[in-house]
Structure 1
Amino acid sequence: MSSKANALQNVASVDDFLNVAATETVPLFEYLSFEFLLEYDVFAPCKRGRTRVHEPPELFRGFLHCYYEDVYGTRPVARELQKPLVWLSCGFDRPPSRDAVDRFLTDLEHVVDDVFDHLVEQAAVRGLLDSTYRIDSTHVEAIPWNDDASWNYDSTAEEHYYGFGCTIVSSGAKIPIAAEFTPAKQAPEETAMRVTRDALAVEHPVWMLGDSAYDTLDWHDRLLEAGVVPIAPYNPRNTDDPLDIEYRVEDRIEKHSEDVQLKRSLLDETYNRRTQVERTNDAVKDCGLGPVRARGRVHARAQVFLALCLRVVVAITNDERGDNPGREILTS
């Protein structure tokens, strides 16, 4: 039995995780499941006038349970939720149909960014973030029959893959705090700027780290204006007269500030922390970031953000239990 299965092998631990039992985390997820989702009118009547039958809080708990148990895709999720132990623990009066599962995932995509942002706010309130943000892009593999995916090249792995991409900013104990679903791993500068803006809306860190792909003037100047020190390796590209610097911020500080000086040794030491974002990516992948077993872009994007939500849920739950929020599983 896997470590995840061990963590959820009895009713009590399932109830704890899904916040059905009377634990200290119930108020947070009652608010998220009932008040927050319904506030955005996710479950409006369909165009024909028929009321769409949904159980949003129960289905949200159900998807969290399934993704935690490595169960993805509407058919497998619907089958998992047919198990009496599971649907009772999630608060259903009866097991949901596959159509209900499919509709919920479709509707959730419209507000899943807000759900994720709300969870990140809760992590920030609990002091789970640190003074260093890290930004990186990762590949998201898709099933071969997802016609909205495409073949892309992953320069890190030096191989092609079929799927999408995701740009993530992380902080603290492997906690994603901002993200964007993209057609490919290599995201345009506009995406980097948008995700950076979203990350700064959570809290302002001291440092923000990125690889050489983030060696752009706009990214550096936006962060410096916000009082954040950006560190990305200098990429001379095709210039005939490269600067004598290791990091772009050295040149930006020299040109725009007479009072600030940064030692290269400090920049080197801080940049070495960037590898934490790779551990965050791996932790989110373990929560369902990939491969994405969903058809179409809408369900693929919903699965990606549900995986991000689940990673934050696990971190918050572990912290409230007195465990290390960086743990990727829940103790029973």
Structure 2
Amino acid sequence: MSSQTASPADVLDDTPVAKVLRSAKRRVIAALDLDFLDEWMDNGPGRNPKYDRSQMLRGLLLCTAEVKFQFRELEECFDSMIGRLICEFDDETPVLSTIWECWNRLQPYIQRVFDRIVQLLDSVGLYGDRFAFDSTHLPCSRTDPDGVWMWESASEEWVYGYGLLVAVDCASDLPAGAVVVQRKQHPETATLECFERLIVNTDVTTVLGDSAFDTLEFHDRCVDRQILPVCTYNPRNTADPLDIVFRIEAFAEESDIQLDRTALQDAFDGRIAVERFFSTAKEDDRRLSFRVQGRQRVETHVGLVLIDRLLTALANRLDNPTANLRKAKPW
């Protein structure tokens, strides 16, 4: 995070449309600088799109904020008076096939858009420096060929769908790193990908995780970057278990460093932030109820929902500089 912290209003464009919108969330969507997407996405061979990619993304963000994901709802949202104002459509608005084409082409860029918005929020001081890692399942229709069966230990049942791995700020419950994975029980490569995105997006001093994150490569990368990993030790990973609670204790012993286990436990308790994040994200079943099928389209849907959570926080602070960032108020 930069030494001089900007305010939420400082990072938004001064657009005439934003000034007439009463809702802070709508003002944020209208004033957010999304021109970078026009540079990232090429038109493709023989393509000359009628609408800028930034316009289309702005419309999809509006649909996400209003929880409109059914195909006709998408078209109606784009064609509404608010949609026309926010997206600055001149006369005609995009038809469903145009919206669908944008959705299909957005997946390779949605992760970068999310990272960009995280960095924007970091520049206005909305993140702390301790982050909790965890994963959850995202149910989908059994007709989706890319979904898989996975065991959900909390509810003790098999569920069909995808997995979502996130790194959530312990101070604000805001996601700062995220990866859609095949299943909740993700490989170490997904953890490392999420970690690398996180440390690019914001400053990190401590990461927290349960025994699923007790891997040597993950701990090595954290220690190499002078980040403290507080992850519970998994004795099932070896035939000769160590007398430790957290994996970092073994690293410390090798370097003759004394760690206070009570302090580590106190830090680990901050992991509740990621549990609150998942609970809040799933409160409205419609938000993560997929109307699309196929991993790429699902990744776009999840990316839009995560970005919407960040824009809600930005809007809350735009309305009230002391607003509780953990509150994901319905719009």
User: TM-score w.r.t. structure 2 length?
Assistant: 0.85
> Which residue, out of 143, 153, 165, partners 2:141?
143
> Which residue, out of 301, 317, 320, partners 1:319?
317
Q: Which residue of 2 aligns with 1:224?
A: 223
Contact 1:134 1:170 in 2 (8 A): yes
Q: Which residue of 1 aligns with 2:38?
A: 38
Deviation at 1:225, TM superposition (A): 1.3
2:21 match: secondary structure: helix
Contact 1:113 1:305 in 2 (8 A): yes
Deviation at 1:330, TM superposition (A): 6.5
State the alpha-carbon separation in 2 of the partners of residues 65 and 155 from structure 1: 35
2:102 match: secondary structure: helix
State the alpha-carbon separation in 2 of the partners of residues 293 and 148 from structure 1: 14
Deviation at 1:174, TM superposition (A): 1.6
Q: Which residue of 2 aligns with 1:186?
A: 185
Q: Which residue of 1 aligns with 2:299?
A: 301
- Aligned CA distance change for structure 1 residues 105 and 180 (closer, same or farther; 3 Å): same
Q: Which residue of 2 aligns with 1:18?
A: 26
1:123 match: secondary structure: helix
Deviation at 1:187, TM superposition (A): 0.7
Contact 1:154 1:161 in 2 (8 A): yes
Q: Which runs of 5+ in 2 are unaligned?
A: 1-19
Contact 1:143 1:291 in 2 (8 A): no
State the alpha-carbon separation in 2 of the partners of residues 262 and 127 from structure 1: 30
Deviation at 1:238, TM superposition (A): 5.8
Deviation at 1:267, TM superposition (A): 0.8
Contact 1:289 1:304 in 2 (8 A): no
Moved more, 322-331 or 231-240: 322-331
State the alpha-carbon separation in 2 of the partners of residues 271 and 150 from structure 1: 31
Question: Are 1:310 and 2:308 counterparts?
Answer: yes
State the alpha-carbon separation in 2 of the partners of residues 139 and 20 from structure 1: 30
Contact 2:163 2:182 in 1 (8 A): yes
Q: Which residue of 2 aligns with 1:159?
A: 157
State the alpha-carbon separation in 1 of the partners of residues 127 and 266 from structure 2: 19
Q: Which amino acid aligns with 1:205?
A: V
- Aligned CA distance change for structure 1 residues 43 and 75 (closer, same or farther; 3 Å): farther
Deviation at 1:142, TM superposition (A): 1.4
Q: Which residue of 2 aligns with 1:7?
A: none
Matched-pair identity in %: 29
1:161 match: secondary structure: strand
State the alpha-carbon separation in 1 of the partners of residues 330 and 55 from structure 2: 20
Q: Which amino acid aligns with 2:279?
A: D
- Aligned CA distance change for structure 1 residues 325 and 84 (closer, same or farther; 3 Å): same
Deviation at 1:248, TM superposition (A): 0.9
1:237 match: secondary structure: helix
- 5 Å matches for 1:1-332? 12-14=21-23, 16-19=24-27, 26=31, 29=32, 31=33, 33=34, 35-40=35-40, 42-45=41-44, 47=45, 49-93=46-90, 94-171=92-169, 172-237=171-236, 239-255=238-254, 257-258=255-256, 260-285=257-282, 290-322=288-320, 323-329=323-329
- Aligned CA distance change for structure 1 residues 235 and 198 (closer, same or farther; 3 Å): same
User: TM-score w.r.t. structure 1 length?
Assistant: 0.85
Contact 1:169 1:177 in 2 (8 A): yes
1:81 match: secondary structure: helix
State the alpha-carbon separation in 2 of the partners of residues 214 and 253 from structure 1: 18
Paired residues in the alignment total 307
1:283 match: secondary structure: helix
Deviation at 1:63, TM superposition (A): 1.7
Q: Which amino acid aligns with 1:70?
A: V
- Measured against aligned partners, the alpha-carbon deviations of 1:112-167 in whole angstroms (never above 9, x if no partner) come to 11111110001111111112111111111113332222222223332211211111
Q: Which amino acid aligns with 2:258?
A: Q
Deviation at 1:251, TM superposition (A): 0.9
CA RMSD of aligned residues (A): 2.3
Q: Which runs of 5+ in 1 are unaligned?
A: 1-10
